[in-house]
Amino acid sequence: MCGIVGYIGWREAWPILAAGLHRLEYRGYDSAGVAVVAADGELKVCKSRGRVDELERMAASHDVTGRVGIAHTRWATHGEPNDRNAHPHCSASGGLAIIHNGIIENHAVLREALEAEGYGFRSDTDTEVIVQLIEYIRDRSGCSLIEAVRGALGELVGAWAVAVVERGEAGRIIAARKSSPLVVGVGEGEFFLASDATPIVEYTDRVVYPADGQIVELSLAEGLRVTDMAGNEAGVEIEQLRLSISQLEKGGYPHFMLKEIFEQPGTVVDAIRGRVDAGLSEVVLSGVRDNRERFLGARRIVIVACGTSWHAGLIGEYMIEEMCRVPVEVEYASEFRYRDPVIEPGDVVIAISQSGETADTLAAVEMARGRGAFIFGVCNVVGSSIARATHSGAYIHVGPETGVASTKAFTGQVTVLMMLALAVGRLRGSVTAEFVADKIKHLCALPGQIAGILSRAAEVADLAKNFTYARNFLYLGRGYSYPAALEGALKLKEISYIHAEGYPAAEMKHGPIALVDSEMPVVVIATTDGVYEKTINNIREIKARGGRIIAVVDHDDTVVRGIADHVIEIPRTCPHLAPVLASVPLQLLAYHIAVNKGRDVDRPRNLAKSVTVE
């Protein structure tokens, strides 16, 4: 989703801004643009539909020199993706330029009011309203730019991260955020601004995360100043960034997605590291240990998340109910936040989010927090909005995930949820020490087992060739394999654009079996667990109707092998962790089908990595 970059300092801004836009490409976008203030105060704007490469080609024939600038990648919400709607947007006089990530819900009313005052609009965006409003306030009251920005933001309903530059003012950027991410990088005599730390990491490891409702002034003369919406000074807390450039590169892989799939043996180790005691008998999660009364007293647990993180949450539900004997509900954050749910003090809400910036999950967290629940975050991005809005949590520590399709974050989330269930189960006395020790053994075996699956990745690539031209896919599983089936289907549809549905295998008979014919590949996760025999019956029902079965089975399975058209073998683990192992070949299957179809795997159409609008 929209990406923001800004620079002010002693270097030429444009090369830094362009590199930053490339770093943010993974978020998804359809147009890009830049505004630079030259040394003589001239404000130069250049923008176009399409990729950052196109903007760079355009900028090469425009003069975009200057040491102060802001740049943007836009993921269209209001108005189609075209040159006109691309950011930056300028005020009526042309004296101010703004970039914005978020949505202004009351833009239509504001636009009407400004039009009545004679302001003309050049785009269909909600963003243009903000810059016109800033200029209107300043023209009417003669106040400073920062006061006008504060005044305009006070009129807005919605979410924003904005950055504003001004003609004639080659020494200042004003930025602000509410419910949309923004990071400030602090260098020597220079400042950086971005939607996340990836454009900043090669210049400085000192960052400031402005809080919701704060306004940041970056000035060459006066340094960094942070104030709130009332104009009060806020403290500036500089944090150290733990991110390296090598983590942001493809490292020889053709796509980030493939690199991230292959990183999983290491990322699962990172998720477990330091959380299992030396005797391999206890899980130690500080976020649980420090809040033991909350978990002991929990009447129920509600998990909120979106997309892949929601699938991990479903697995978390099964684990926590089984091991902690406490009722768990898993909610789509977007539904939860708008349906007035019963949330009371004493409830524990677990928010799962890779990016930590998903607008619906953040809003769900804020609502539940407002109603007195204890909020525990399972996030990847350190210092992200959701991580900061929670009372406590456990990071998954899988490193930056750049491919739009989530892979290593999913396996990291399931790993952490397993440790959470074990820690809370032990705390509540609902699982024995022996049970925990046995599960720790399985957890510690995961990295090697994933490496084993990846060593046979070529077999999945071969298999994928048979299905490149399939038009529909079904993914089935029961028990812990059901969320893994949902996740397998989501991976395929989002990057290959093949229609794919995940279903609980037994639900087939209640409708979807009508779709099965000889054209229909059906992926069935049939690992050995309490419902293995039942899954075999479901496979027979599909075969009887001519369906083509691709079965994910334990390496020593003999029964399903005799019935399925194709098998993908995975090592044996406990049922709780089988979704981690099953998801790896399904990620590869989706990847290779998408590559065979010539899809843009890392940046699939219409999708954004970080969904910062609801």
Question: Which residues participate in catalysis according to the annotation?
Answer: 2, 609
Least CB distance to ligand F6R at residue 237 (A): 24
Site for ligand F6R contains 308 (CB under 6 A): yes
Which C-beta is closer to ligand F6R: that of 101 or that of 308?
Answer: 308
Which C-beta is closer to ligand F6R: that of 314 or that of 323?
Answer: 314
Least CB distance to ligand F6R at residue 386 (A): 7
Q: Which stretch binds ligand F6R (CB under 6 A): 56-64, 305-313, 502-510, 566-574?
A: 305-313
CB atoms within 10 A of CB 123: 18
Between strands 96-104 and 68-74, the pairing is unpaired
Least CB distance to ligand F6R at residue 305 (A): 6
Least CB distance to ligand F6R at residue 384 (A): 9
Site for ligand F6R contains 181 (CB under 6 A): no
Q: Which of 397, 611, 612, 614 binds ligand F6R (CB under 6 A)?
A: 611
Least CB distance to ligand F6R at residue 308 (A): 3
Q: Which stretch binds ligand F6R (CB under 6 A): 189-197, 302-310, 458-466, 570-578?
A: 302-310
Is the Cβ–Cβ distance between 402 and 377 less than 8 Å?
A: no
Which C-beta is closer to ligand F6R: that of 216 or that of 330?
Answer: 330
Binding mask 340-359 for ligand F6R (x = CB under 6 A): -------------xxx--x-
Is the Cβ–Cβ distance between 124 and 82 less than 8 Å?
A: no
What residue number has its CB nearest to ligand F6R?
307
Q: Which of 306, 431, 525, 580 binds ligand F6R (CB under 6 A)?
A: 306
Which C-beta is closer to ligand F6R: that of 381 or that of 457?
Answer: 381
Q: Which of 127, 267, 309, 612 binds ligand F6R (CB under 6 A)?
A: 309
Site for ligand F6R contains 494 (CB under 6 A): yes
| Three-state secondary structure of 348-404 | EEEEEECCCCCHHHHHHHHHHHHCCCEEEEEECCCCCHHHHHCCEECCCCCCCCCCC
- For ligand F6R, the binding residues in 375-434 under the rule CB under 6 A are 405-406
Binding mask 228-267 for ligand F6R (x = CB under 6 A): ----------------------------------------
Sheet holding 31-37, edge to edge: 43-49, 31-37, 68-74, 3-8, 191-194, 183-186, 206-208, 239-240
Question: Taking the chain, what is the end-to-end CA distance rounded to the nearest angstrom?
Answer: 11
Per the structure block, which two tokens stand in for 415?
């790993």
Per the structure block, which two tokens stand in for 515?
């779709």
Per the structure block, which two tokens stand in for 570?
């995975």
Q: Which of 204, 264, 361, 449 binds ligand F6R (CB under 6 A)?
A: 361
Residue 378 CB contacts under 8 Å (≥ 6 apart), including other chains = 312, 350, 351, 352, 353, 393, 394, 395, 396, 413, 416, 417, 420
Between strands 3-8 and 239-240, the pairing is unpaired
Q: How many CA atoms lie within 13 A of 154 on its CB side?
A: 11
The count of residues interacting with ligand F6R (CB under 6 A) is 14
Q: Which stretch binds ligand F6R (CB under 6 A): 85-93, 168-176, 301-309, 591-599?
A: 301-309
Q: What is the distance of C-alpha 104 from the center of its chain?
A: 21
Between strands 191-194 and 214-219, the pairing is unpaired
Is the Cβ–Cβ distance between 217 and 46 less than 8 Å?
A: no
Chain residues in the site for ligand F6R (CB under 6 A): 306-309, 353-355, 358, 361, 405-406, 490, 494, 611
